[in-house]
Structure 1
Amino acid sequence: MHPLARVSVSDQAARGVSLLRLACALLLALPLLLGTGCSKKSKYAPVGIVTDKHGAYAKALQDALATASPNLPASDLIDDLDLPSLPDDRLSAYLVDQATARIAEGNLLVIAVATQGGKDHPLLLVRSKAKKYYLAESGSIVSLLLLRENIDKVWILDKPEYYPAGSLKTKEGEVPPARVIMNDPDALAALLAALSPALALPPKKQTNDYGTPVKTPDLLPFNTPHTAGQTVSGEILFIDSEGNIVTNIPKGVATWLKEGTLLRILYGKERIHAPLVATPNEVPIGRYAAIYSPEGKLLIIVNKGSAARLLKAHLGDTFTLEP
């Protein structure tokens, strides 16, 4: 197994990681990520881990994979996501989307991230149209990345041969819930060792028989940006530890959204003006501004202040922009 190059994505506050730290961590990993993927000669789909369970879990799974399938290549990325003690699925979905954006096609990514409510979901295998595979506890965790990559196929991993009798204290023919599988590195490694060779086959040779097909997985209701004339409607995806508001509006969604434009932002009962700038220092301290993130998402910020606090913003809130 290749050594795993670890990228730590840390949170300095209970709400999650700052966008800047996240972007820097992913950019540092970029040379590794561009070379990661399933080549034509590979017999295995490389496995990566995106988790909020931190190093001990990732190391245990790495060791279990080495035992279950010594030749199975590991992806070059483990992302440790620091989340609040009470999971917020929208926050988790955003961080998972950011962590997976630069992963090459052909990888099988384990999304071992807690979901709200503690419900027992079946384990899902998701294939996106970007030719990536995701093993996830529920559709909510991969909701945002699937808006970006689009769903190809989804299966419930309920084939009995994945879970031999006696493993995970299951009875013959019984399929354990996803959280039980995710919390058992040996069982998860055995499942990955069984799936990886099948997923490495060329698309025309794949059986697509990985379990019960799911037509519509249970996804969170994220909105896509909407334009009507010169009005752009957006949604708050994330609020970082400095109070910067990350929106779902990408660069290029409207021709007038460019540096130098003075934006009128309508958020609830608030009406504010913010210039679209290249750097925060282009506006006085305490003033609103809009700026594009390294990933090309529009941010609403306050120079040396917290836009989220001033606007009393929350994840999922909607707003409109006008020139």
Structure 2
Amino acid sequence: MSGIITLTSDWKNSDYYIGAIKARIMARFPDTKFVDITHNIESYSISQAAFIVKNAYKEFPKGSIHIIAVYSEPDKNGKILVIQDHEQYFILNDNVSASLIFDTEPQKVVLIETGFGFEGASFTEYSIFSQLALFILKEGDISELGNISKEYKKTPELLPQLESDTINGEVIYIDSFGNAITNIHIDFFNENVADSQFEVLLNSNFYKSKKIHNGYKQVDKGEIVCLFNSIGLLEIAIREGNASQLLSLKRESEIRVKYNL
């Protein structure tokens, strides 16, 4: 067990929640190492939290525990999930987050419906998630926590679509610089566009780019730059500017790539 616990939440930094959950765990395991992935998730944004965790967790060592504290209180008849995959552990509400984090079916998914103070819990992360993390730190078998099942809430992955020499994608994330990250992966782009001429069309064709760059500084200040980022997704940016604001891009904005021009 690595002794590392990550926290991802929409708590910001103005409340007591972060300190309380860390203190409860450290009271039992004082050598626990906490990593705050982010506490700046938009309130209740399951998709934003899933995107960040998906692209961060694989860098952590085996045995790491990831607490995802966004929209965490279970609905009536809802469940909490403890997942084991890639030799790491994930604690989260059954709110479709899991299907957005993992590309394939996780190795083991345990559904928890009762126990651990489940009934009447308002600060779920403190009263339940922390207990589950402590159980894992003690090297307990998560199969003992509930029922192993694949029947948890899922939602289809948002994939780009092909139509008449056009890739129809969309913005799935706006980062802190205002860069717009799309769901168009470099492999999908190369498979279809290959060596043909193309245009990246933004905001109903109002803005266009005809080149994929290798870095932000390959254009002049204030110009649009399109590149494939470190996770292989097409990113729309403006050098030393905010593409989201200046190009009116937001999550679910349409991004099209026309090729074979």
Number of the residue aligned with 1:264: 199
Partner of 1:49: 7
1:308 has 2:244 as partner: yes
Aligned in 2, Cα 1:305/1:235: closer, same or farther, shift over 3 Å?
A: same
Partner secondary structure for residue 26 of structure 2: helix
**Counterpart residue number, 1:93:** 50
Aligned equivalent of 1:277: 213
What is aligned with 2:119? 176
Partner of 2:38: 80
Q: 2:21 aligns to what?
A: 61
1:190 paired with 2:131, answer yes
Query: Partners of 1:250 and 1:268 in 2: how far apart?
Result: 19
CA distance in 2, matches of 1:51, 1:236: 22
For 1:264 and 1:88, locate their aligned partners in 2 and report how far apart those are by CA, in whole Å: 31
Unaligned runs of 5+ in 2: none
Relative to structure 1, is the Cα distance of residues 220 and 276 closer, same or farther in structure 2, using a 3 angstrom cutoff? same
Would the alpha carbon gap of residues 95 and 178 (structure 1) be closer, same or farther in structure 2, given more than 3 Å must change? farther
Q: Would you say the 8 A contact 1:46–1:196 is kept in 2? A: no
3-state SS of the aligned residue for 1:294?
A: coil
CA distance in 2, matches of 1:118, 1:176: 10
RMSD: 3.7
Aligned to 1:146: 102
Give the alignment partner of residue 235 of structure 1, picking from 170, 180, 185. Answer: 170
Distance 1:262 1:131, change over 3 A: farther
Could you list the per-position Cα deviations for residues 167-189 of structure 1 after superposition, in whole angstroms to 9, with x for gaps in the alignment? xxxxxxxx3267542143xx543
The reply on whether 1:114 has 2:57 as its aligned counterpart is no
CA offsets 1:127-146 (integer angstroms, 9 cap, x no match): 33x23221002333344321
The DSSP-based 3-state class of the residue aligned with 1:208 is helix
SS of corresponding position for 1:139: coil
TM-superposed CA distance for 1:248, in Å, is 2.5
Instruction: Report how far residue 308 of structure 1 moved.
Output: 2.9
Looking at structure 1, the residues matched to 225 and 142 of structure 2 have their Cα atoms a distance apart, in angstroms, of 51
Q: Aligned partner of 1:307: which letter?
A: A
**Structure-2 separation of matches of 1:196 and 1:238:** 33
Task: With the length of structure 1 as denominator, give the TM-score of the two structures.
Answer: 0.63
Q: Any idea what SS the aligned residue of 2:107 has?
A: strand
Q: Which amino acid aligns with 1:95?
A: I
Q: Distance in 2 between matches of 1:236 and 1:303?
A: 18
Task: Compute the displacement of 1:290 (Å).
Answer: 0.6
SS where residue 151 of structure 1 aligns? coil
Deviations 1:228-250 (A, max 9, x none): 89754433121134432111233
User: How many residues are treated as equivalent by the alignment?
Assistant: 254
Q: In 2 relative to 1, CA 216–114 (structure 1 residues): closer, same or farther, beyond 3 Å?
A: same
Q: How far apart are residue 298 of structure 1 and its match?
A: 1.9
Change (3 A) 1:291 1:207: closer
Residues 9 and 69, structure 2, Cα contact 8 Å, conserved in 1? yes
Unaligned runs of 5+ in 1: 1-37, 40-44, 164-174, 200-205
Q: 1:106 to 1:183 in 2, by over 3 A?
A: closer
Q: Residue 300 of structure 1: CA displacement?
A: 1.1
CA distance in 2, matches of 1:89, 1:232: 26
Q: Hey, what's the Cα distance between the residues in 2 that align with 1:118 and 1:262? A: 50
1:224 alignment counterpart: 159
